[in-house]
A and B are shown apart, each in its own frame.
Chain A
Amino acid sequence: MQNSPSYAIESNDLSIHYGAFTAVKGVNLKIERLKITAIIGPSGCGKSTLLRSFNRMNDFVPGCHATGELLMQGQNLYSKDIDPVEVRRKIGMVFQKPNPFPKSIYENIAWGARINGFKGNMDELVEQSLRSAALWDEVKDKLQESAYALSGGQQQRLCIARTIAIQPEIILMDEPASALDPISTLRIEELMQELKKNYTILIVTHNMQQAARASDYTAMMMIDDQRAGGVIEFDDTKNIFTRPKDKRTEDYVTGRFG
């Protein structure tokens, strides 16, 4: 039951079902601590479903349930005595479309921290979080303005700042740059390299170049003939993009998968 300390989280035969339909089947992944792991694969292969299962976000979907194990520090996050809210505190999430709260920049960060019982110096936490998200210099003079006044790229970094404000161990990112322009995208990727000094990152991306540029490990997913998604290859990102072992990975990364 114990998972090794070099892994932040690991799944054992993890499957996700929507009612009778199995969307993701038998995933065994060991996510290394303080590294960036990318999940790639064609549309509908279960990447996002798998990612969301890592912080029990799928609990919100009616009929969705998981089988198998998801181990974090030896604990199965799907066991009955685990509080999913606590799981989401330890494992934060950044979504495809920036989704700041309709509040000030300051409150976007302070709010979650306050709810989580943060008792320290809030100004410091806000500044530190914004600095870590490489946003401080751009917003320090307008902390009380609405978060909606920021550009898309800035909003996404604000969402990242909001996530780190509650000090998670793992950050899940679901296509965090797909709604952003190329420069904002590169900025997010650079930020990820900074963040991995303190956080383990799992990212789902459709952009293969992004996975190649930004991640240390890559998991390739594909559906089987029952339309259940699974991880077909997991390796160093370098190997996945230069010498993949599975023909299907080869076809996907070279853009020949129909």
Chain B
Amino acid sequence: MIRKTFESDIQQVKDEVLALGSMVEHAIIGSVEALKKRDIKAAEKIIAEDKDINKKRFAIENQLMVLIATQQPMAHDLRLLASTMEIISELERMGDYAKGIANINVRMGEEKLLKPLIDIPRMAEIGASMLHRSLTAFVQEDVAAANAIPMEDDEVDALYNQIYRELMIFIIEDPKNIERANWLLWVAHNLERVADRVTNICERTVFIATGEFSEIKSSDDEFWEKQKKNK
């Protein structure tokens, strides 16, 4: 193989992206777990660990920049390296959502949860699983998987809408609930955003593999189109 060194450098970058992805996954699940248990110590740990996520992102960014400067990538290699730059930035933002959830946990202090968490952990699980599989699709350049994963957003959106309605009822019942309801809404919103960013990763994977920029329609888009039609 002619570009053995370059190939192995690329493989190393992919491994690092997977490692970054698993840190983010861990943070998402952990932040919700900590909230569920109202474990402030665990939340503080997640906030601190977000710095490691950011550090790793910069380290990968630097690795990519060195490869671009020294290897002059073209065609598929160029698409891969440029898109990986985007993907790590998506991952870092997802890490910020997890940190946001942990921050809410800390801010809630002694306050009790408005309701036991059932749907929110479910959202976190689905989001983390989508993230995990989107990165597998990225590494394997699996276009079919990359196109399919965003459609799973359905369930995340359905859960989000359900949580939203529930929390509204709490608010209507008693305005004293507003702050606590708002906290949970914020958490749910962060998790909903995680799934959206998975779509961006999948779009990049399709671009790397095919050279085509395509916006993958998530179920989100279909939902709003349906709403429009129903009106």
Q: A208-B74, A209-B72 are in contact. Are A242 and B2 (CB under 8 A)?
A: no
Residue among B6, B72, B75 making CB contact with A242, cutoff 8 Å:
B75
A241→B74 contact, CB < 8 A: yes
Residues of A within 8 A of B44 (CB): none
In the complex, B36 has a CB within 8 A of chain A: no
* CA–CA, A91 and B3, complex, Å: 39
* CA–CA, A241 and B75, complex, Å: 5
In the complex, A255 has a CB within 8 A of chain B: yes
Q: A241-B75, A242-B79 are in contact. Are A256 and B211 (CB under 8 A)?
A: no
Residues of B within 8 A of A241 (CB): 74-75, 78
* CA–CA, A246 and B72, complex, Å: 20
Interface residues of A in 235-255 (CB under 8 A from B): 241-244, 249-250, 253-255
Interface residues on chain A, number (Cβ under 8 Å) = 15
* CA–CA, A241 and B77, complex, Å: 10
Residues of B within 8 A of A254 (CB): 3, 73-77
In the complex, A257 has a CB within 8 A of chain B: yes
Which of chain B's residues has its CB closest to A257's CB? B2
* CA–CA, A255 and B75, complex, Å: 10
A250→B76 contact, CB < 8 A: yes
In the complex, A203 has a CB within 8 A of chain B: no
* CA–CA, A254 and B67, complex, Å: 13
B74→A258 contact, CB < 8 A: no
Chain A proximity of B20: nearest CB distance (Å): 25
In the complex, A159 has a CB within 8 A of chain B: no
B74→A256 contact, CB < 8 A: no
Residue among A209, A243, A258 making CB contact with B75, cutoff 8 Å:
A243
* CA–CA, A249 and B78, complex, Å: 14
* CA–CA, A67 and B76, complex, Å: 37
Binary flags per residue of B1-13, CB closer than 8 Å to A gives 1, else 0: 1110010000000
Which of chain B's residues has its CB closest to A250's CB? B75
A250-B75, A253-B75, A254-B77 known; 17 other A-B pairs, CB under 8 Å? A208-B72, A208-B74, A209-B72, A212-B74, A241-B75, A242-B75, A243-B75, A243-B211, A243-B212, A244-B75, A249-B75, A250-B76, A253-B74, A255-B2, A255-B6, A255-B74, A256-B1
Chain A residues at the B interface, C-beta cutoff of 8 Å: 208-209, 212, 241-244, 249-250, 253-258
Chain B residues at the A interface, C-beta cutoff of 8 Å: 1-3, 6, 72-79, 211-212
Q: Can you identify 11 A-B contacts, CB atoms within 8 angstroms? A: A241-B74, A242-B75, A242-B79, A243-B75, A243-B79, A243-B211, A250-B75, A253-B74, A254-B76, A255-B2, A257-B2
